[in-house]
Structure 1
């Protein structure tokens, strides 16, 4: 009987513990490391922290997990830049840029970015930690970040966090607290966001400036979304063609006259055609002269690797999803990736209009998921039963009130003469295409007065262009140059 009672007590205790996984609300774990970056040894502290989000009554309603890398051999950090990093989704953790781009440790992958085993982490000799401290932030329900229950045991409402405006507002408050706690108010400050993260940081630029009185030196948009600028219809359709050309060039599907040229020789030609001829043709719709329409079909086929029949059947409007399915259909029977069209997929049937799955994403999750879980536990000494949400539940996401964060970034740049913006895009990204990114840059510079503070960088890879080692090297160098240039300008004062 005594044995049975002890067993029942053990089971009850085990179940209670299993049901009591708690989210840390305000904690830090600090470890010391060093990295060799550009041939120089850089000592740094890594802080895995949780910092609360408070409501108006000063009560915690969420706890955000972050990882903060601070170079430890610099005593005076008043001129030391701080890079504040977000990924996108919405609902994506900060894992992608954290362990594949700017951080001191990166994935164990091959030179082109494909996963290899054993999965794990290696040093990043290209990290920008030599020139800037970095904090990677996970918004609510991503990574280890979670809502926290109140005194009544109930979780706060989702609508406080899951929307364009809500996301920007609470993150701006959180950043203010982080900067204050870590004594970084004097430091030059930069935001970097990827994909939906570009919507986030574009809005944060003005929110931090207007409501937190925190003025930034730079914003980096990696594979940007439309950030509120509207270009549906003919503009969006015409803008697809340069991406089609890039992906077709990579897979050797262009005619020899183009295929034998370098990619960066081909793309300007296609871009000019898309703007000067394709866009006006699409605008005319069914009233486009038939002879002219056939000439456009021929040219689109020439630049895209698609058949004239396919383009004709789609009335010049070939969806990107159909392109991913069709480009290699007759040659190899494979699909190509959405976020990175270098990747190939294999569908059950070669027939159809869209791929069965995103070939690039499944490949990435192979490498990222085990690596980030291993890294936190074994190298950063953070041990928990919390699940690391690569993609967290943040739906529904409210886009109804304000999805014009690009306009907010433009306002912030107009009001702050020291604010610079750089866009980084992969030519093979079919989700947020590089030519749409160029279009966004033009809309930011609608008055032509921001030219000196706007720049675009293109790379021969996809959405996460940093996975390819050659682009990892160059993209980090571009960030270094961007920080150096934008910070140097502040010595002249904030004036026009």
Structure 2
């Protein structure tokens, strides 16, 4: 458990102090804390998934994490969908979203859960309720049981008593708690020898790498058959837009090219061909130019500027003013400025209208406010009204889990260059049965596909066990109907191939 040293020190202090030892007034409080009753709800349901009719049990329940003295410290809510009759040899997949601070609503009600909320598939705003909540034939229940996890501070999950959220808010702290929940669920459900998959979206891919380290990094291993990375961010330095850092301009350029093509600001036979050209330009002439800094020649600058304009759809005049280094935020505002529109960060297919067209950055992200209402309504309706989960807590779709501790295991300060990708490389090298699936949207600036490619092609990653798939949408590619089905089929095939 987290903070063992602190708990041990507290125990020693209690034993060494006669005053504390002889005080009976503290005992009832301790008993009250250890008597925490976990909340839960369960319902038998059925549906057709992947063309198969499946009976399943949906269970929402608090998994209680305790200190070494048995005191309940946190309740992490899992929502599991288990096929009936139960089969211990059947795969089980643990899933979560990212943030950090995001509940699992997005993957659960948008991609892989047995029910989904229907929002516009063509990058339009989801409008006002009621939102259709439909059976989801693209759910993975035909090939795997599903367990969605909401870490502390997300969904209905929460701390207990005097425990502070900061005890669970951090790359390593969070991963340890999620790994503990997985171990509890496996024990309580008799699934230790089941094939196991782990999946996350966005920061959930960061969490996946850290959880893999917690599950497989010691001798008391929980070995995995596969890791599913959706909209991947592992190497935070690869996309950092910090003054003096050049790599982020390289890794976002192919996403700018895809977006310019989508909105008619560039021409090419296909998005695949155009982004491949952009990749080669980014790691070749553009990277060389950036690395030379002010030592680049006037001729080289002119050649790079012309190509950069072709790929980004931005004018050479604007690129010159930006010193041929365009941040994502400026790109969202500038690309369609002549139309009075901005483009989205999570999904640059979406467009929005700002207060005016004069600013440097957008007022908001149209690809987030275009979908949030539908998902929030759907998860609350399904959990409370369909499954009967009773709670006075609000479901936290996106919440504040600050301050977040970005240090990795051992207290190493990696804020200057945070990279959890090596955890996955080590796991691949030490577990010959583990594979990685990577799903990326062309129009995603939150976790650009080229940055994911960069992170997973460094030294130490067996490339024959990493599978890549691309989608014609953005960060949450499943909001597009065609891509939700394609993602489902791709992940289904990945699980079956174990």
Q: Is 2:61 the counterpart of 1:49?
A: yes
Report the alpha carbon displacement of residue 26 of structure 1 after superposing the two structures with TM: 2.1
Determine if the alignment matches structure 1 residue 470 to structure 2 residue 444. Answer: no
Q: Quote the Cα distance in structure 1 between the aligned partners of 2:36 and 2:113.
A: 24
The whole-number CA distance in structure 2 between the counterparts of 1:220 and 1:343 is 26
Please state if 1:392 is matched with 2:399.
yes
Where does residue 76 of structure 1 map in the other structure?
A: 87
Question: What is the DSSP-based 3-state SS (H/G/I as helix, E as strand, rest coil) of the residue aligned with 1:129?
Answer: coil
SS of equivalent to 1:424:
strand
Match of 2:112 among 91, 102, 106: 102
Residue in 2 aligned with 1:316?
324
Q: Which residue of 2 aligns with 1:93?
A: 103
Residue number in structure 2 paired with 1:413? 428
Between 305-314 and 110-119, the greater mean CA deviation after superposition:
110-119
Structure 1 residue 228 displacement after superposition? 5.2
Query: Map of 1:29-428 to 2, 5 A cutoff?
Result: 29-73=41-85, 75-78=86-89, 80-112=90-122, 114=124, 115=126, 117-149=129-161, 155-211=162-218, 212-227=220-235, 230=238, 232=240, 233-254=245-266, 256=267, 258=268, 261-330=269-338, 332-400=339-407, 401-402=411-412, 403-428=418-443
Query: C-alpha distance in 2, partners of 1:455/1:338?
Result: 25
In structure 2, distance between residues paired with 1:469 and 1:366: 18
SS at match of 1:376: helix
Other structure's SS at 2:110 match: coil
1:264 CA displacement: 1.4
d(CA) in 1 for partners of 2:342, 2:444: 14
Shift of 1:35: 1.2
The question of whether the paired residues in 1 share the 8 Å contact of 2:305 and 2:320 is answered with yes
Structure 1 position 452, deviation (Å): 1.3
Deviations 1:412-441 (A, max 9, x none): 111111111111111100111111111112
Give 1:441's match in structure 2, choosing from 446, 456, 460. 456
Deviation at 1:231, TM superposition (A): 6.1
RMSD (Å) for aligned C-alpha atoms? 1.7
**Contact kept? 1:248, 1:305, Cα under 8 Å:** yes
Partners of 2:227 and 2:151 in 1: how far apart?
18
- Residue by residue over 1:349-382, the C-alpha shift from the partner in whole angstroms, topping out at 9 and shown as x without a partner, is 1011110111111111121111111111221111
Distance 1:296 1:313 in 2: 14
Q: Secondary structure at the match of 2:111?
A: coil
- CA–CA separation in structure 1 for the residues paired with 2:40 and 2:384: 14
Match of 2:18 in 1: none
Gaps of 5+ in 1: 1-22, 150-154, 488-496
Kindly tell me the number of residue pairs found equivalent between the two proteins: 449
1:431 pairs, out of 446, 462, 482, with 446
| 2:166/2:402 contact within 8 Å kept | no
Question: For each residue in 1:296-343, what CA deviation from the matched residue of structure 2 results, as whole angstroms up to 9, or x when unmatched?
Answer: 00000001111111111111110100000010001x111011111111
Q: Structure 2: any 5+ residue segments left out of the alignment? A: 1-34, 413-417
Contact 1:24 1:50 in 2 (8 A): no
Query: Could you tell me how far 1:111 is from its partner in structure 2?
Result: 3.0
With normalisation by structure 2, the TM-score equals 0.87
1:471–1:360 distance in 2 versus 1, CA, 3 Å: same
Q: Is the 8 A contact 1:438 1:456 kept in 2?
A: no
Change (3 A) 1:96 1:196: same
The 3-state SS of whatever aligns with 1:101 is helix
Residue 230 of structure 1, CA deviation: 4.9
TM-score, with normalisation over the residues of structure 1? 0.87
| Structure 1 residue 405, shift from structure 2 partner | 2.2
Distance 2:36 2:264 in 1: 51
- Tell me, in whole angstroms, the C-alpha distance in 1 between the residues paired with 2:144 and 2:441: 24
Counterpart-to-counterpart distance in 2, 1:370 and 1:167: 27
Aligned-partner Cα distance in 2 for 1:327–1:25: 54
Paired residues of 2:238 and 2:451 also in contact (CA < 8 A): no
Could you tell me whether the CA contact under 8 Å between 1:29 and 1:382 is conserved in 2? yes
